[in-house]
Chain A
Amino acid sequence: MTPVPSRQGAARERAPRVGAGRFPWLLVVPAVVGIAFLVLPFAGLLIRAPWSTLGTRLLMPEIRGALLLSLGTATLATAIALVLGVPLAWLLARAAFPGRRVVRALVTVPMVIPPVVGGVALLLALGRRGVVGQYLDAWFGYTMPFTPAAVVAAQVFVAMPFLVISVEGALRGADRRYEEAAATLGATRVTVFRRITLPMVLPGVAAGAVLCWARALGEFGATITFAGNFPGRTQTMPIAVYLAMQTDPESAIVLSLVLLLVSLLILVSLRERWVGAL
């Protein structure tokens, strides 16, 4: 007669069966298809890349111009987003004011609307006849649309919310007792923010800046609507890729490769230090 197995024994008997149980096809098959769908396009890009003429194409002035413009505007847009977005995130995370939830919802709107709509909205606000733009034109003789400044404006508009949301999350997660400790040592609110809060949320700020920069670099819809497509002035990399695709597909592939490479470089170089907070 076999003894009745103890509960522990039963558990040990059952445990391997869970691991060796029926293979979860229902989950694994869609997962593999998902991976393939995400990776295959890049493989296509690499396979079809005109490797032999890559060097000469990279030196073509229109490609170089678009690349420099994209890197420059995305970086400037990120800097502006940092200057405006970090205080905005602080306000959303820390200040109690009426309508805070409404403001928070408004901040996230550019993340969800189609970028083209953002471009149209920017034109209506800052265009020569726009709500604000007409005064810029009348008083200062300044018109923003279809200038490099418009490229930056479009990028800030679509990318800053990513930074704000990231920093706000970091601020909410930060231990506020350190700020109290600083206050008991005589630190004013500005000092507390600068010397205690900001260093504490730095990973969140960095992660937000990376997201913001990547989003700005890839900006297309709002840019082409608000800033147009002037080579050397407002033609950024994504726009150049799109146009090249119609006339010179091989150049489009090269441009795409460059964009892909730049994005990967940023991701890899920051991964170790900061992107864990993403």
Chain B
Amino acid sequence: MSAPSLRAHLVVDRPGFRLDAELAVQRGEVLALLGPNGAGKSTALRALAGLAPMSAGGVVLEGEDITTTPTERRPIGMVFQDYLLFGHMSAVENVAFGPRCHGVDARRARREAAALLDRMGLREHAAARPATLSGGQAQRVALARALAVRPRLLLLDEPLSALDAHTRLTVRSHLRRHLRDFDGATVVVTHDPLDAMVLADKVTVIEDGAVVQYGAPADVARRPRTEYVARLVGLNLYRGNAERSEVRVEAGEARVALHEETEGDVFVAFPPRAVALYRERPDGSPRNVWRMTIDGIERFGDQVRVHLDGELPMSADITPAALADLSLSPGDAVWAGVKATEVESYPA
């Protein structure tokens, strides 16, 4: 494997907060920084851009140490959360601004900016002021502006969060196409797992200023390592100690049976739809049954999500028909069962 295009160890200290994260991105690869609000994702992006002063660590981009390079001399392009298009310039002037700053003469900068907007499907909006553009159009102008300086590192801060749900869908696929075409390294900050899954080749999960998980989106989705990621991808997650084919869960006394043998500290995860609920303790089939209390019931798509409290707190997705058959309501005692083959276990 070739040396990564971007290698960074980002350390940013602020009162009451410390970011300490290592990132590596290959050429042409898109890395998503996923994490809850206040986890330090945007701070990491600002540190990469040189906008947040680092207290230690370093940033190496294509073999060049840019740790102390001022923002304006870094070969980067950045798309900000609310785009920050310059209101006193037209769309094409916004896009031409970067090349102009890099010494490209006015006529050529404008011609290339117009061509770039054309490729973004914004030909007829080139002369428009940013205030007259829709959210999706503004997002594309912001992307064009960032790409116009031919960056080696493209940074996107929550590129879709300012859009409504419908626009987000089309802009996301548009963005995905342009990120595929971009041959430098890309880092995109998001708190939406769907953005990460669709846009990124790799995902780094940041919580409380530290990297808690890194991997391909599918791996992260299948094998979450923190409560936050598990909730994002919709899995029940527990940490425990395995002895042969049984895991003793860390918090509490519950035991979870596996369909394979393993040893040591492990995570166990299973999806809510794998949970079956019973009024009476079932005989035989599932080896995993726990005595639980219903904490809450809510609609979840065309299913019903039942929150269960007890020796192994979990969510269960059942059909509305099953809910009616069992006539469940909050406070009721139930048995929850999961087949051992539905339980995924992996080393902690």
Contact = CB atoms under 8 A, between A and B. Distances in A.
A199 B149 contact: no
Contact of B86 (A178, A180, A183, A191): A178
Contacts of A183: 50-51, 70-72
B44 interface: no
Contacts of A181: 78, 80, 84, 86
Contact of B145 (A178, A185, A195, A199): A185
A200 B88 CA distance: 8
Interface in A151-206: 175, 177-178, 180-188, 191, 195-196, 199-200
B73 interface: yes
Contacts of B50: 183
Interface string B108-132: 0000000000000000000000000
A180 B71 contact: yes
B145 to A, nearest CB: 7
B240 interface: no
Given A177-B80, A178-B84, A182-B97, A187 B51 contact: no
Contacts of A195: 97
Contacts of B98: 185-186
Given A177-B80, A191-B101, A184 B88 contact: no
B49 interface: yes
Given A180-B51, A181-B78, A187 B84 contact: no
Contacts of B88: 199-200
B77 interface: yes
B49 A184 contact: yes
Nearest to A178: B84
B84 A185 contact: no
Contacts of B145: 185
B231 interface: no
Contact of B72 (A178, A188, A196): A188
Contacts of B101: 182, 185-188, 191
A185 B51 contact: no
A183 B49 CA distance: 9
Contacts of B51: 180, 183-184
A195 to B, nearest CB: 7
B71 A184 contact: yes
Contacts of A184: 49, 51, 71-72, 74, 76-78, 146, 155
B97 A187 contact: yes
Contacts of A180: 49, 51, 71, 84
B84 A186 contact: no
A196 to B, nearest CB: 6
Bin the interface of chain A by size.
10 to 19
Contacts of A175: 84
For the residues of A in contact with B, the DSSP-based class is helix
Nearest to B77: A184
Interface string B68-101: 0011111011101000101110000000011001
Given A177-B84, A178-B86, A200-B88, A185 B49 contact: no
Nearest to B88: A199
Contacts of A191: 101
A191 to B, nearest CB: 6
A196 B86 contact: yes
Question: Which residue among B71, B87, B146 has the maximum number of chain A CB atoms within 10 Å of its CB?
Answer: B71
A186 B102 contact: yes
B80 to A, nearest CB: 6
Interface in A5-48: none
Contacts of A182: 86, 97, 101
A191 B102 CA distance: 11
A188 B98 CA distance: 11
Nearest to A177: B84
Contacts of B155: 184
Given A177-B84, A178-B84, A186 B49 contact: no
A186 B149 contact: yes
Nearest to A179: B84
Contacts of B84: 175, 177-178, 180-181
Question: Which residue among B50, B76, B88, B155 has the maximum number of chain A CB atoms within 10 Å of its CB?
Answer: B88
A186 B78 contact: no
B80 A185 contact: no
A191 B155 CA distance: 22
Nearest to B85: A181
Nearest to B70: A183
A186 to B, nearest CB: 4
B32 to A, nearest CB: 20
Interface in B307-339: none
A177 B80 CA distance: 9
Interface in B27-59: 49-51
Contacts of A186: 72-73, 98, 101-102, 149
A180 B80 CA distance: 10
Question: Which residue among A182, A184, A186, A199 has the maximum number of chain B CB atoms within 10 Å of its CB?
Answer: A184
12 contacts: A177-B84, A180-B49, A180-B84, A181-B80, A182-B101, A184-B155, A185-B97, A185-B149, A187-B72, A188-B72, A191-B101, A199-B86
Given A181-B78, A183-B51, 5 more contacts: A181-B84, A184-B49, A184-B146, A186-B101, A188-B101
